[in-house]
A and B are shown apart, each in its own frame.
Chain A
Amino acid sequence: MEALTAIVIGVLTAASVYLMLARNFMRFLFGLVLLSNAANLTIFASGRMTKGAPALVPYGEDAPIGVVGNALPQALVLTAIVIGFGLLAFTLALAFEAYRRMNSVDTDEMRFAEPKEDTSK
């Protein structure tokens, strides 16, 4: 399954890069969501994928029996998902506020911090 996941990750990354290169800020946000998913899957797949054996210690035992899913990448991905959400929310708020101020979602028009140089000089 790692190979198939790698392909899924590639498609996710390609789509997110394509969306993040768009002029529309909302597409950029979609790209960000997809990129988080790609990153999470990458961490998950690098820790190897085990089918149907959650990383739980059965009652009455001191350690899991047999091979179970790798818990470490799961812990990393779990927090990454929540942080990714925080990042998305922040970016969304930024986009929203930018839209309210500049009345545009076209990033080519958003030149508040780096205004166009006056080239006539």
Chain B
Amino acid sequence: MADHSDPNAPWKTLSGIGTSAITAALFLFFVQYLPTVASGEPVRWVIPWIPSLDINLSFWIDGLSLMFALLITGIGAMVMLYAAKYLAGHKQYDRFALYLFSFMLSMLGLVLADNLIALFVFWELTTFTSYLLIGFSHTDPKSRRNALQALLLTAAGGLALLAGFILIGVTQGTFELSELNAAGSIAGQPFYMGILILVLLGAFTKSAQVPFHFWLPNAMAAPTPVSAYLHSATMVKGGVYLLARMHPSLSGSDAWVWALSVFGAVTAVFASFMALRQTDLKQTLAYTTLMALGTLTMFLAGSTGYAITAAMTFLLVHSLYKAGLFLMIGVVDHATGTRDANLLGGLRASMPVTAAAAAAAGLAMAGIPPFLGFIAKEVAYAGALEMRLMLFVVPMALIAFALMFAVAGIVAYKPFYGPQGELPHEPHEGPWPMLLGPVVLGVLGLLFGLLPGVAAYWLIEPAVAAVMGAPDVGGRVKLWAGFNLPLLLSLITFALGFILYRVHLDLRERLARIEARAPDLDAGWDVFLDRFMAFTKLQTGLIQTGVLRQYMFATFGVFAVTVLVTLLARDVGGISLALGGLSFMEWGVALLIVAGIVLVVLTSSRIVALVGLGVVGIGVALIFIMYSAPDVAITQLLVELLVVVLLALAFLKMPQLDPSGTQSHSFANAVLAGAVGVLTTVVVLLVVDQPFDRRLSDFFEAASWTEAFGRNIVNVILVDFRTLDTFGEIAVVGVAALGAFALLKGFARARNAKGEDK
């Protein structure tokens, strides 16, 4: 067993019972909203976040989000309690509890968020916590690889989703879901197709629709409570939730109907066959989850009352029985040490409670009356018969449900009845914290089936109303709807399912042979990732040459091109070069500077270059002196002096400017340099041509003495008006000095310590 747990280890009070208790309290908190929401009144809170961008932390409880919130907190509380026992004694249990609790909160945020941007943030948070949980057994490379695969796929979908949300915000003028849904369908508006494709990409990756399905079975590398909670009951339903949430605004087009029907149906049927093919019961359940997600997507394609009711009912019943079955498999795994369908059998005697819970969940899954699963199936057929692509949807639903019946037998019946196989451990009943979840969930599936009105009134009908965007007429969720076509289809399902169960061993072998010949998307993923890495390496090699002057060339080249394009695009007109009326002195200073520059550029002697730099510095200082900036001029002169001293000191120990082979005067460099120079001149000329705004300077001149008691305005600005800036600047000077000091002294000391210094 990979989970390294010790069933006899003591409880962790805080991380185990504490998180579970908080989650249970949250469940009760949401229960109190049931009457309000059932009466058709959504609850809304708004916390402004970035109001200028219309991004708010707004939350919204209506029928749909409340059903999800109750499932998340209710199942969450039981799963956390279960995990406390399942992973008891695991040395990283606390970490696990933290991840699981964070996930629960993120998922709650996701289903309660009213603002698209907030929803996206929570969406990505669930992706990250899911990544951490799948990779929880981080010493196992397979577990890490599967976690990364799930992260990359769902996060890529998340980015598409963000793009879609931003398009919605830009075209519709709001990010609030409540406003969007109230405005009705946006089908046919500009960018609708783009929005639809982007949102569907996000939803389909999250809810693992074919062809993005392969991450979900791999995610079963996570501990079983995680599989039950994230990868069955809650997180993977995030995509379905989004489709339901945005149903009022995004549905109503052919593209919506076709995309959801086809992807959903293909996923459902493909996954049910794959479920039958597995021998690891956890993998079987993973594929049945895929089947459920496909079915839900398929029904959300419709817009009629029965189709939406089918989706909501199936969503509820699936969360109940699938979480229960996963937890049950964990108990069996704990007790027997295996999850192999071929080995397990006859456990009923040693594990009676588990067997009863499994039976309840299995009957719900198979859709046997009087369980809620039966009603879900009836409504589903009624919904499928109403759908636009009825001739396609009904047979697909029939195949999927029949296979589901057979799989329910494999998962919930076979391990407990018949002969007991060779088991690694002698089976024993699980501890109560691990049985509580399966039992409660199984009982709920039965209770809701016996009292369908209760589930319909409090949960299903408010959710349907939320998805339809109009109050629901209700009355569809009934145990006995009379002799009608759905009932007939149900009976065919049972017959077909029973036959499939009887031949499932044979069928499994055939499926295994087909699978061996079919293209393997999972392996394709690895190939894709390898190719992608090779491409990035190639691209990095091309762009990042590691040669400084090529970087500099690219930087200055981009600068020149962008400035040139801007100048041309803005049509700045002519520039004026007013050079008249300048004195001999001014021309002299300019020529002095240019002479200094020529010296620095052309010489190959360090001393001459230093002299050239000095000349330039003094020339610039002269400009400052002539044009009323004595403080700046003094500073410039002093710094110029220090620059020369410092360079001279460093050059004492450095080589001549041009040791053989390092000359690099190239024509291309000269052209680029000339272009940057000319462009800079043009930009400066354009700037000084603009009308001048003296407001700030006028204020400083007027306030310098009267308010700050200083007559040197430059100094007053430095030490009084803009003190914080100056403080930042002297901090930079201090840090630069310390950095240079550390570079020179620190490394020298390290060298001395090693005895390497010559």
Contact = CB atoms under 8 A, between A and B. Distances in A.
Contacts of A111: 546
Contacts of A44: 623-624, 627, 629, 632
B628 A22 contact: no
7 contacts: A2-B578, A12-B597, A22-B669, A30-B613, A44-B627, A63-B705, A89-B740
Nearest to B577: A3
Interface stretch (B149-157, B247-255, B455-463, B634-642): B634-642
Given A1-B627, A21-B673, A71-B713, A48 B688 contact: yes
Instruction: Rank and list the top 9 A-B pairs by shortest CB-CB distance, nearest first.
Output: A14-B677, A69-B628, A10-B681, A86-B736, A114-B546, A18-B673, A93-B740, A71-B713, A107-B548
B549 A74 contact: no
Give the interface residue-count category, chain B: 35 or more
Give the interface residue-count category, chain A: 35 or more
B484 interface: no
Contacts of B587: 4
Interface in B645-689: 646-647, 650-651, 653-655, 657-659, 661-666, 669-670, 672-674, 676-678, 680-681, 684-685, 687-688
Given A12-B593, A79-B725, A83-B733, A96 B548 contact: no
B597 A34 contact: yes
Given A12-B593, A27-B657, A79 B718 contact: yes
Contacts of B658: 24
A48 B630 CA distance: 16
A37 B654 contact: no
Secondary structure call for the A interface = helix
B6 interface: no
Nearest to B733: A86
Contacts of B684: 2, 5-6, 9-10, 42, 45-46
Given A4-B586, A86-B733, A110-B548, A17 B673 contact: yes
Contacts of B546: 111, 113-116
Interface string A93-121: 11111011000011110110111110000
B692 interface: yes
A82 to B, nearest CB: 6
Interface of A: 1-15, 17-24, 26-30, 33-34, 37-38, 40-42, 44-59, 61-64, 68-72, 74-75, 77-79, 81-90, 92-97, 99-100, 105-108, 110-111, 113-117
In this complex, the member of B629, B687, B697 whose beta carbon has the largest number of chain A beta carbons within 10 angstroms is B629
B697 A70 contact: yes
Contacts of B628: 49-55, 68-69
B639 A14 contact: no
Contact of B620 (A29, A41, A62, A71): A41
B556 A6 contact: no
Interface string B726-737: 100100110011
B673 A81 contact: no
Secondary structure call for the B interface = helix
Interface of B: 541, 544, 546-549, 552-553, 556, 576-579, 582, 586-587, 590, 593-594, 597, 600-601, 606, 609, 613, 616-617, 620, 623-624, 626-632, 635-636, 639, 642-643, 646-647, 650-651, 653-655, 657-659, 661-666, 669-670, 672-674, 676-678, 680-681, 684-685, 687-688, 692, 694, 696-697, 700-702, 704-706, 710-714, 717-718, 722, 725-726, 729, 732-733, 736-737, 739-741, 743-744, 747
A29 B647 contact: yes
B717 A34 contact: no
A114 B605 CA distance: 31
A97 B681 contact: no
Given A14-B677, A89-B737, A92-B650, A55 B600 contact: no
Contacts of A7: 590, 681
Given A45-B684, A89-B737, A10 B677 contact: yes
B685 A3 contact: yes
A49 B616 CA distance: 19
B44 to A, nearest CB: 49
